[in-house]
Amino acid sequence: MKPKQKTLLSVLIMILMFIPGISVFAENETEEEIFTSGDYSYTVRNGGATLVNYTNFTETVVTIPHEIDGYPVKALGENLFFTVSETDPTISKVAAEKFIIPASVEEVGAFVFYGCVNVKEFEVAEDSTVLCDVDGVIFDKDKTIVIAYPIASVATEYTVPSGVTYIDYGAFANCNTLEKVIFPNTLVSIGQWAFARCSNLKELSLPEYIDTIEKYAFAYCTGLTDIKWSESLIKLERGAFGACTSLTELTFPESLSEIGQGAFSECTSLTKVTLPEDLDILNEGAFSGCTSLNEIELPSKLVTLGEKAVGFNYNMSKELVKNVNFKIYGKTGSLAETYAIENEFTFISTGAVENQESNDSDESKAETKTSFLNSEGDGKGVPKTLVLVLSVAGLAVVAGIIAVAVSKKKKS
C-alpha cells in the first residue's frame, strides 16, 4: 500500500491512532468478545485473559492483576496503557509512575506502555518465566530484548546490556532526558518507534552488526546531530529518521541497500547527502521536505527510484512541490537522468553509465552482489527490479548466441 504523501506529523497522528500490532511478543488478531472488570477490559483465550484496555487515569502505582474474574492474566494487549491525551496525541492519559507485572503474564503486545511519560520504574515478579526487570527496565527472561524503558527516568545516559539483539517497539519513545545511548555489538535490529521523540538524543553510534533500522525508530529526534553508521547496515525503513531537524550531513556506509519511504523526510537542516554507489532502492519521498538540501548525486546502480524521492518540499498547504533550484548529479543514461528529466530538475552529468556487457569479472561481481543480498539482506532477497534486469540481460545474451549460430549455419 502506498498512502498519499502527508506531512510526518499527520502520519504520526494517524499511526498513533491505529498503531500496528506486530511485536516480539505479538498476539493473534481475532474477533473476540470483550469483558469489563474494574479498571480493565479483557478477552479470553485458551483459558487465560488478555487485558485490552485500562481506564484509571489517576493511579500512580499500577499493579497488574495476576487474575481477573477467575481467569489468569496471561497477556497484555497492544496499546493497553496508551489512551491518547486530549492535549498531545503522542502521550497517554495514564498517570502511572510504576508498573508491577505479575508472573502470570506470558505475552506483551506492541506499544503496551507507549506514551506513559510519568513512568519511573517497572517491576516484574521474580518468579516470571518470560520477563524480568533490570534497574527498572523490562527485558525478556533471556535478556535479549529490551521491551520497555521507564521514560521518566532522569538518567541522561543508558548502556544497553551486552547480549541484547533487539529493541522492541516504542521501548524508549518520548524519553526526553536521554542524551546518549550505548549499544552492544550483539544488537542487530532496532524496532519501530523505539527512540521516537527522544528530543535530547544528540549522537548515535550504531553497533558493528546492526543491519536494520525499522519504521520511525528515530523519528522526531530533533536534537540528533551526528550518526555513526554500522558497516553492516542494509536497510533503513520508512520514516526511520524523519524530522530529525538538527542533522546537517549524511554519509552512508557502502553496505546500505535500501532507504525507505520518507526515511529522512523533513530533516530541514540537511545540506549534504552522500549515497553509497551500490544503493539499490531509494524509495518514495525518502528526502522530501529537506528544505536546505539543494543538490544530490544519485548512484548509477539504482534499480528503484521512488516518486518525489528528492527535490520536493512542503508548501503552506502541506503539499509536496518541486524545489525549482534543485540539481541532480549522476551518470548519463541512468535513473538519475530519467528522474531529473521527468521532474524538470537541472541534471549535471558525471559521465556515462559504464558498459554493461558481460565479462568474467562482471559476472563474478554480480554473483557476489546477489549472494550478499540473499544472505544478509532484508529477508526478501534481490529486489524484483534487479531480478528483472538480470533476467532480461540473460535472455539477450542467449538470443545473441542463437543468432550467431543461425548465421553461421546459413553461410555454411
What is the tens place of the pLDDT at every residue in 266-277? 999 999 999 999
pLDDT in tens, 252-299: 999 999 999 999 999 999 999 999 999 999 999 999 999 999 999 999
pLDDT in tens, 199-242: 999 999 999 999 999 999 999 999 999 999 999 999 999 999 99
Instruction: Supply the pLDDT for residue 371.
Output: 24
DSSP-derived pairing of the beta strands 249-251 and 226-228: unpaired
Mean pLDDT along residues 129-148: 97
* Least confident interval from 75-89, 334-348, 371-385: 371-385
- Angle at alpha carbon of residue 223, lines to 218 and 224, rounded to 5°: 55
Number of other CB atoms surrounding residue 386 within 10 Å: 20
Residue 123 has pLDDT above 90, yes or no: yes
Cα 198 from Cα 179, distance rounded (Å): 8
Mean pLDDT along residues 9-14: 40
- Cα 381 to Cα 268, 370, 374, 391: the distances in Å are 33, 8, 4, 15
Cβ–Cβ under 8 Å, residues 165 and 144? yes
Mean pLDDT along residues 149-156: 96
Residue 168 has pLDDT above 80, yes or no: yes
Which value, in Å, is the radius of gyration of the alpha carbons in the chain?
A: 25
Residue 91 has pLDDT above 50, yes or no: yes
Confidence class of residue 30 from pLDDT cuts 50, 70 and 90?
A: low
Give the predicted TM-score (pTM) of the model: 0.79
Instruction: Supply the pLDDT for residue 23.
Output: 33
Q: Of 175 and 3, which is predicted with more confidence?
A: 175
Mean pLDDT along residues 159-186: 96
Residue 349 has pLDDT above 50, yes or no: yes
Cβ–Cβ under 8 Å, residues 312 and 286? no
Instruction: Supply the pLDDT for residue 387.
Output: 34
Mean pLDDT along residues 151-167: 96
Residue 388 has pLDDT above 70, yes or no: no
Cα 253 from Cα 257, distance rounded (Å): 9
Q: Of 280 and 13, which is predicted with more confidence?
A: 280
CATH number of 8-352: 3.80.10.10
Cα 31 from Cα 8, distance rounded (Å): 31
Domain boundaries, the chain: 8-352, 360-411
Grid cell listed for 256: 546500505
Grid cell listed for 167: 529493541
Mean pLDDT along residues 179-183: 97
Residue 376 has pLDDT above 70, yes or no: no
Cα 116 from Cα 175, distance rounded (Å): 10
Residue 342 has pLDDT above 60, yes or no: yes
Mean pLDDT along residues 127-152: 97
Instruction: Supply the pLDDT for residue 355.
Output: 63
Backbone angles phi, psi at 404, to 5 degrees: -65, -40
Residue 367 has pLDDT above 60, yes or no: no
Instruction: Supply the pLDDT for residue 393.
Output: 39
Which is nearest to 218 in space by CA: 237, 196, 243, 191?
196
Instruction: Supply the pLDDT for residue 391.
Output: 40
Grid cell listed for 127: 518468579
Residue 361 has pLDDT above 50, yes or no: no
Instruction: Supply the pLDDT for residue 204.
Output: 96
Instruction: Supply the pLDDT for residue 347.
Output: 98
Cβ–Cβ under 8 Å, residues 351 and 36? no
Cα 405 from Cα 330, distance rounded (Å): 39
Confidence class of residue 32 from pLDDT cuts 50, 70 and 90?
A: confident
pLDDT mean across residues, the chain: 84
* Least confident interval from 8-12, 119-123, 215-219, 365-369: 365-369
Instruction: Supply the pLDDT for residue 354.
Output: 79
Cβ–Cβ under 8 Å, residues 81 and 54? yes
Cα 93 from Cα 58, distance rounded (Å): 9
